[in-house]
Amino acid sequence: MKIHLQALGCRLNEAELETWSRDCRERGFDLIDDAAQADLVIINTCAVTAESVRKSRQLVRRSQRANPQAKVVVSGCYASLEPEQTIAELGIDLLVPNTEKDRLVEIASERLDLRVMPEAATEPGENTLLARGRQRAFIKVQDGCRYRCAFCIVTRARGEERSRTIDDIVDEIRQLHALGTREVVLAGVHLGGYGSDNGSDLRALIEAVLTDTDMPRIRLGSLEPWELPGGFWSLFDNPRLMPHLHLPVQSGADSVLRRMSRRCRTSDFAALVEQARATSADFNITTDIIVGFPGETEAEWQQTLAFAETMQFGHVHIFAYSARAGTKAAGMPGQLDRNTKRSRSQQLHEVAERSRIATLQRFRGREFEVLIEGDCGDGTDGRRAWTGYTPNYLRVEVRDNRGGDLENRIIRVRTGDLDEDRNRLLAQPLIDAGTGMSTP
């Protein structure tokens, strides 16, 4: 049984894909990269924007055209919002709603009668994530959200908050570490709300992961800039917790944030960024900003541009607002036209690009430990080039002429200039004089 997995959208969808891949292997199924050769295609859909819905539908139909004989299973937010319509319009074999997606492989095996010969089954620990070239794993720690931001359909698709137990999460991370994974990302729809349903909180979870596992690098997924637990910043005193946070601000105008039903104002957000950078001068803050929210005036838009310029984000995910049926914002007056949103997106892109390049330039001439994630071929100088990320999530290209495989190693490097496209820092591995090897 050959299975192809694909996800659109958020890191939580990616984390769920990781879980399904392990479930597939435990049942003896083969995972393949080519949907055209698969017996079963599983797609985790997204509904965060109208464009995400379009891409989800397009992906399903493309898979069906490429391989008409394969069975198709869909899950995710788009599939869960209108399941009956999705089944009728796309002609899929099985839809697994978000409420049951943690058992997706089990459900698909039962309802589609997926069989595998016993000798094809794998022993626990075989076929690791590294076989797929993955050094980083996304860990789903909670699902659902209690809040109702005016633009968001995902909370309706995901339902109420549900948290995994700390013991369960720690066990999964230990298993991944034993299989060679060097970095995990704790992810959730409302990560800051972890433990709201089981008497715990995000700080307790992070402390347990740091104390009870030996995973070298731990990251946090997207965090709403409110409800950070007490003592949160002191957690970063442990160098295994990476100094990077993705804090979605969504707008730099307080009047727009109120219409969005957001629970954080720009002054609160700026204070959080100041706290982060006081914790570590290396702290990298990235964010999301929605362009063209209903009623957004030119004055409000200029406030957003100015705020983005001031914050000096390491990266900005830019979303042009699109109305989603079933959300409060879809019925608001003052829906902006496409040209206005396109123009404002370009303006923000220019601001964000300047900030991104300034962030990279600020870290030239520094020493970092970098997790090498892959080989990007030979550089223009003939040396082999490897790519990876610093603890604060800056892309680095490491040039090395000593040979050997650096993939999935954490090595110490010294950064230099930016590459020609100004997308990453060029770096040299630091060599231990006694061993001739990269350190540590």
Q: Looking at 54, 86, 120, which one is the last position of a domain?
A: 120
Q: Which tokens go with 275?
A: 């706290």
Rounded to 10 degrees, the C-alpha dihedral 6/8/14/20 comes to -40
* Proportion of the chain above pLDDT 90, given as a percent: 60
Segment 338-360 shows an average pLDDT of 96
What domain range is 92 assigned to?
2-120
Q: How many CB atoms sit inside 10 A of residue 275's CB? A: 13
Segment 155-168 shows an average pLDDT of 88
Asked if the structure places residue 60 within a domain, the reply is yes
Asked if the structure places residue 260 within a domain, the reply is no
pLDDT band at 438 (very low <50, low <70, confident <90, very high): low
At 118 the pLDDT is: 36
Q: Which tokens go with 331?
A: 């019925």
Nearest CA to 193 out of 154, 151, 226 is that of: 226
At 434 the pLDDT is: 40
Alpha-carbon gap, residue 156 to 206, rounded angstroms: 27
Q: What is the CATH number of the domain that holds 91?
A: 3.40.50.12160
Based on the fold, state whether residues 75 and 141 are members of the same structural domain. no
Which sign does the torsion angle of CA 288, 314, 398, 216 carry?
negative
Residues 225/249, Cβ–Cβ less than 8 Å: yes
Least reliable range by pLDDT among 59-68, 315-324, 370-379, 411-420 = 370-379
pLDDT band at 439 (very low <50, low <70, confident <90, very high): low
Residues 313/352, Cβ–Cβ less than 8 Å: yes
Q: Which tokens go with 206?
A: 């992070």
At 115 the pLDDT is: 57
Asked if the structure places residue 254 within a domain, the reply is no
Asked if the structure places residue 390 within a domain, the reply is yes
Based on the fold, state whether residues 87 and 64 are members of the same structural domain. yes
Asked if the structure places residue 340 within a domain, the reply is no
Could you tell me how many residues make up the chain?
Answer: 440
Give me the helix-helix angle, 266-279 and 298-311, nearest 10°: 10
Based on the fold, state whether residues 200 and 139 are members of the same structural domain. yes
Whether 114 shows a pLDDT value over 90: the answer reads no
Q: What is the mean pLDDT of the chain?
A: 88
Q: Looking at 212, 242, 272, which one is the last position of a domain?
A: 242
Sheet containing 284-291: order of strands? 244-246, 284-291, 315-320
Distance separating the N- and C-terminal Cα atoms of the chain: 42
At 198 the pLDDT is: 92
Asked if the structure places residue 311 within a domain, the reply is no
151 backbone dihedrals φ, ψ, rounded to 5°: -95, -10
Segment 26-32 shows an average pLDDT of 86
pTM, 2 dp: 0.80
At 129 the pLDDT is: 37
Whether 432 shows a pLDDT value over 60: the answer reads no
At 125 the pLDDT is: 35
At 135 the pLDDT is: 85
Least reliable range by pLDDT among 24-28, 54-58, 139-143, 213-217 = 24-28
Whether 201 shows a pLDDT value over 80: the answer reads yes
Based on the fold, state whether residues 7 and 113 are members of the same structural domain. yes
Whether 117 shows a pLDDT value over 50: the answer reads no
Based on the fold, state whether residues 192 and 88 are members of the same structural domain. no
pLDDT digits (tens, 9 = 90+) for 375-414: 887 655 667 899 999 999 999 999 887 667 888 999 999 9
Based on the fold, state whether residues 58 and 9 are members of the same structural domain. yes
Number of domains within the chain: 3
Q: Which tokens go with 405?
A: 């495989």
Based on the fold, state whether residues 85 and 142 are members of the same structural domain. no
Based on the fold, state whether residues 36 and 145 are members of the same structural domain. no
pLDDT digits (tens, 9 = 90+) for 277-297: 999 999 999 999 999 999 999
Q: Looking at 183, 216, 242, which one is the last position of a domain?
A: 242
pLDDT band at 153 (very low <50, low <70, confident <90, very high): confident
Based on the fold, state whether residues 181 and 116 are members of the same structural domain. no
pLDDT digits (tens, 9 = 90+) for 204-235: 999 999 999 999 999 999 999 998 998 999 99
Q: How many CB atoms sit inside 10 A of residue 12's CB? A: 25
Contacts of 173 (CB under 8 A, 6+ apart): 139, 184, 209, 213, 215
pLDDT digits (tens, 9 = 90+) for 294-333: 999 999 999 999 999 999 999 999 999 988 888 999 999 9
pLDDT digits (tens, 9 = 90+) for 165-194: 999 999 999 999 998 999 999 999 899 999
Alpha-carbon gap, residue 269 to 290, rounded angstroms: 16
- Pick left, alpha or beta for residue 158 (phi over 0 → left; psi -120 to 50 → alpha; otherwise beta): alpha
- Pick left, alpha or beta for residue 315 (phi over 0 → left; psi -120 to 50 → alpha; otherwise beta): beta
Based on the fold, state whether residues 113 and 142 are members of the same structural domain. no
Asked if the structure places residue 257 within a domain, the reply is no
Based on the fold, state whether residues 26 and 90 are members of the same structural domain. yes
Asked if the structure places residue 45 within a domain, the reply is yes
- Pick left, alpha or beta for residue 306 (phi over 0 → left; psi -120 to 50 → alpha; otherwise beta): alpha
Based on the fold, state whether residues 67 and 34 are members of the same structural domain. yes
Q: What is the CATH number of the domain that holds 145?
A: 3.30.750.210
* Proportion of the chain above pLDDT 70, given as a percent: 91
